[in-house]
Structure 1
Amino acid sequence: MASRTTRENLIEVGLELVRSAGYSATGINQILEVAKIPKGSFYHHFSTKDEFVMEVIRRYATGELDRLERNLDDSTRSPMKKLRRYFKDLMATYGRRGGPIAGCLLGNLSLEIGGQNAEIRSLLSTIFDAWQNALAKTLRDAIAAGELPKTAKADDLAALLVNGWEGAQVRAKADQSDKPLELFFDNTFNVLLKG
């Protein structure tokens, strides 16, 4: 197995640290110490912490978009079964699983620095839009398949799903409990999207 490049190592370590501690609590020196890389190497690859964090966000988003594809591009399942499987996957990944709930990096950074940095805010917004669009496509497929009423508005429902999931993540993090995630899931599939 080939070793990671210095840049890749920095991004992976940064993803872990920023996700668990947040933007403000994660310093460059801490990243360098965990990555076992000299300071000059960081500045060879990134000119600022914000530029670095944007790469960390992109890496996180790539993983989440891969999760969407894995769950929603399965032609053997109905659209609603794909959505259920997708949110179950999210719950399994972001729930307690025996450890503390760190929450969604996108939501965490939106709350922490989204209002202070226009570039990061724009990147976060773009990623949220891509996520919402993927869910809307699956919801349109569910409408076409008769799993949801013809009057359902896929784009509005997708926005509600993204916003509801992010809110459940914030509450789960505050409570260190899976209950908000479970409540989101149960109400999404047993009330909101009940065909």
Structure 2
Amino acid sequence: MPRPSVREQLVEAAAECFEERGFNAIGVQEITRAAGVPKGSFYNHFVSKEALALEVMRRYGTARRMEMLEDGTLAPAARLRAHFRFLADDLERFRFSRGCLFGNFGAELSTQSDEVRGHVDAALGQWAVSVAAVLREARADGTLKGALDPEPLAGFLVNAWEGAALRAKVTRDGRPMDDFFALFDSLFVPAADGADG
């Protein structure tokens, strides 16, 4: 198996460092040390630590498995719940110590970097658009309760998720996730077959 490129080693090491300690607490030297590459090689691949952070966020977004929201084999409410459950399981895998990288970077860097802030805003906005599409399907099939408007509800769910992820990082347990899912489930007509969603 070929050895990963220096660029890949830097991205992988930075992702771990940023998720464990944040952006400001990690320097280029620590990232290159974690990657096992010479410090001088960093600037052959990235113009700045901020540029590296943008690449880490791009890959993090891909790992969020947004395509789950387009899986037509599941009913809309079940599909949306499965998506959030996947994200919750990922938080639990790290004992809730990491939170969401978008939320972490948004909180830490929104006053320091317009480029990072813009990327976080765009990523969360696109996520809300995808969630709204599923909510429109749920409204059309009669499983979304009441006359809820999918667009603001999608924004609310994304914001509530980010808040729950932050709170779980603080409490280091799944109670905020439980609260999120209790609210989520109250938005939908229970499935007749007893399945989640």
Output the TM-score relative to the length of structure 2. Answer: 0.91
Contact 2:17 2:26 survives alignment (8 Å) = yes
Contact 2:96 2:174 survives alignment (8 Å) = no
1:17-55 deviations in whole A, cap 9, x for unaligned? Answer: 101100011111111111111122110011111111111
Partner residue, 2:89: 92
Percent identity over paired residues: 37
Where 2:112 maps in the other structure, the secondary structure is coil
Contact 1:144 1:150 survives alignment (8 Å) = no
Partner residue, 2:172: 176
Amino acid at match of 1:68: M
Where 1:3 maps in the other structure, the secondary structure is coil
Where 1:18 maps in the other structure, the secondary structure is helix
Task: Return the alpha-carbon distance in structure 2 between the equivalents of residues 153 and 98 of structure 1.
Answer: 34
Amino acid at match of 2:71: D
Contact 2:77 2:188 survives alignment (8 Å) = no
- Runs of at least 5 residues in structure 1 that lack an aligned partner in the other structure: none
Where 1:76 maps in the other structure, the secondary structure is coil
Task: Return the alpha-carbon distance in structure 2 between the equivalents of residues 12 and 49 of structure 1.
Answer: 13
1:86-110 deviations in whole A, cap 9, x for unaligned? Answer: 1111111112x47352100000111
1:1-195 → structure 2 map (5 Å cutoff): 1-64=1-64, 67-69=65-67, 71-95=68-92, 97=93, 99-149=95-145, 151-189=147-185, 191=186, 193-195=187-189
Contact 1:32 1:42 survives alignment (8 Å) = yes
Amino acid at match of 2:84: F
Amino acid at match of 1:154: P
How many aligned residue pairs are there? Answer: 189
- Runs of at least 5 residues in structure 2 that lack an aligned partner in the other structure: 190-197
Q: CA deviation at 1:127?
A: 0.5
Task: Return the alpha-carbon distance in structure 2 between the equivalents of residues 11 and 115 of structure 1.
Answer: 24
Task: Return the alpha-carbon distance in structure 2 between the equivalents of residues 77 and 111 of structure 1.
Answer: 34
Amino acid at match of 2:161: W
1:149-186 deviations in whole A, cap 9, x for unaligned? Answer: 57321111100110000000111111111100111111
Task: Return the alpha-carbon distance in structure 2 between the equivalents of residues 53 and 77 of structure 1.
Answer: 34
